Structure 1
Amino acid sequence: MVSPGETAMKTQITHDTALMRSLGLALAKAASEVQMIAITGYTDRIGADDYNQDLSQRRAEAVRAALIAGGVPSTAIMAEGRGETAPRVACTQPAGDALIDCLAPNRRVEISGVAQLARK
């Protein structure tokens, strides 16, 4: 839920550091006070659970670092890895390139946040 004078944003981005920095700059400029940004990393189901959990955390932390480099205060960012939970697609292809391609949407980072809009 978003209160009056606040904005909420949820987006998905690919692994593009320049895009992440641009997003960080846009967030920093659009808000007089960034209240909270939640970054959540995910993986596909291929691999061991422990490895996928660690990989998803590293993905979230990489985006966090890029947003901080773009000007978002580090204290306003929470990064969390959720491994292979919450898949976007369920694929039935046998192992191989077709399965890896099909599972691509599950390998993602989601960013959601709330910021106090700047008043003019």
Structure 2
Amino acid sequence: MTDRTKPEFDAPTAPAPSELVIRDLIEGDGAAAEPGDTVTIHYAGVEYSSGEEFDSSWSRGQTARFPLPDLIRGWQEGIPGMKVGGRRELTIPPHLAYGPAGGGHFLSGKTLIFIIDLLAIG
């Protein structure tokens, strides 16, 4: 799969969801990720309320490789089932991201939106 360009985010108009929202933007045609897998991805993340980008592998110019069990729960629950070659949007409420406000992380208390391209598994 060739690397796609960095995604654009649509500004949310509805209130932030209280549960994980998974939306496939592009259905992949490769192997599907499993809960314990290590994945190679490109991703970008923005805050739901402001639309401000807080992280992006595209902006750094390199992919990221992570074991799913080491990531926030929203990714642990939102990436399995995604197929290599796919692009998925995850909208993650605070309890599945960095916890409630005052939790010590700069994203604590915030609902987050990620767009993830799954490049490889393993």
Q: TM-score normalised to the size of structure 2?
A: 0.29
> TM-score under structure 1 normalisation?
0.30
Q: Which has the larger radius of gyration?
A: 1
The structure with more strand, counted as a fraction of residues: 2
Q: Which has the higher helix share?
A: 1
